Structure 1
């Protein structure tokens, strides 16, 4: 019988699952989505393939688990950032900074790459639902500001954040802050025109 490394079997399984998800994400970040196989993951964490099958029956199940594990934490991060700010402009800026941080931190690109792979319909639906939740804090701010069609405008803002993320250069803090400032100015200017 395998050695239990926690107080309970349930906690041991939860710890092992967390280690598997983290190791899978690391494999994708380091070597791309094609590097994520059950065999590679088993080698990375030192488990036999049959032991790994207790957690994931297929690569698709593993991919779906990694993607759906990451999105709720991103949503909570965005919610906390917006909740900590006061006033519409500050809340929008907090959202933009938090979302840009999520997009440029490395794990986001791994999750996006994995999302492009063939997944079961149920997994795709869960991913869509969680991805929608990422926009919720911004939609709420825009609703409070009485902006017309807040969901559509939040989607536009999200597109601007993704465009800004493509111009971020690691280690170039002055450049990156200029990008952030331009993004905030652009978004707030657009919001001001629609509410004024």
Structure 2
């Protein structure tokens, strides 16, 4: 039986899972999504590959676990950002700014890269649920603001955010201008 480093097996497993997820995020942030594999993660943390199977059956499970852990924190940050501003334009602007801040900071770089990863359907379904939590505060703000089809409009605003995040990653020196343009586009369309 392997040695445990915590008072209970459950605490040991929770700590080991945290270590594995942190190492996987660091691996993606440093080397890109292509570098993420169960073998690479095992080497990085000094765990046998069969030992990883106790936590993840596949790379898809690993990717989904990283995103499932990150999405609730991300959703809480986004929801909190919409609590402050008054009016629909203020709330939409806050949503776009909060999303872009999260999507372009280094801490979340792995999660953003992993969202692009081609996952099998069960893992994609788990991520869609988390993504819906991210959109919920915006959908609510749009509905309360009398915007027709708030779910559709929220998805379209998220499309602006996604495009702006990709552009900001390619042109980090222009991130301020990109954020301002994305907010203006989401709030005012081409007229703003």
Give the TM-score normalised by structure 2. 0.84
Which residues in structure 2 correspond to 1:30-179 (within 5 Å)? 30-105=30-105, 106-114=109-117, 116-117=118-119, 119=120, 121-168=121-168, 169-170=171-172, 172=173, 175-179=174-178
Q: Partner of 2:182: helix, strand, or coil?
A: helix
Contact kept, 8 Å, 2:25 with 2:111, in 1: the verdict is: no
Aligned pairs, number = 186
Contact kept, 8 Å, 2:138 with 2:154, in 1: the verdict is: yes
Inter-partner Cα distance in structure 1 for 2:88 and 2:115: 30
Over 4 Å off, 4+ runs: none
> Hey, what does 1:20 align to over in structure 2?
20
Give the TM-score normalised by structure 1. 0.83
> Hey, what does 2:10 align to over in structure 1?
10
Cα offset for 1:34?
2.9
Q: Partner of 1:166: helix, strand, or coil?
A: helix
Inter-partner Cα distance in structure 2 for 1:40 and 1:150: 42
Inter-partner Cα distance in structure 2 for 1:98 and 1:163: 15
Gaps in structure 2 of 5+ consecutive residues: none
Cα offset for 1:162?
1.8
Is 1:188 matched with 2:187?
A: yes
Inter-partner Cα distance in structure 2 for 1:37 and 1:80: 34
Give RMSD over aligned pairs.
2.2
Cα offset for 1:67?
2.8
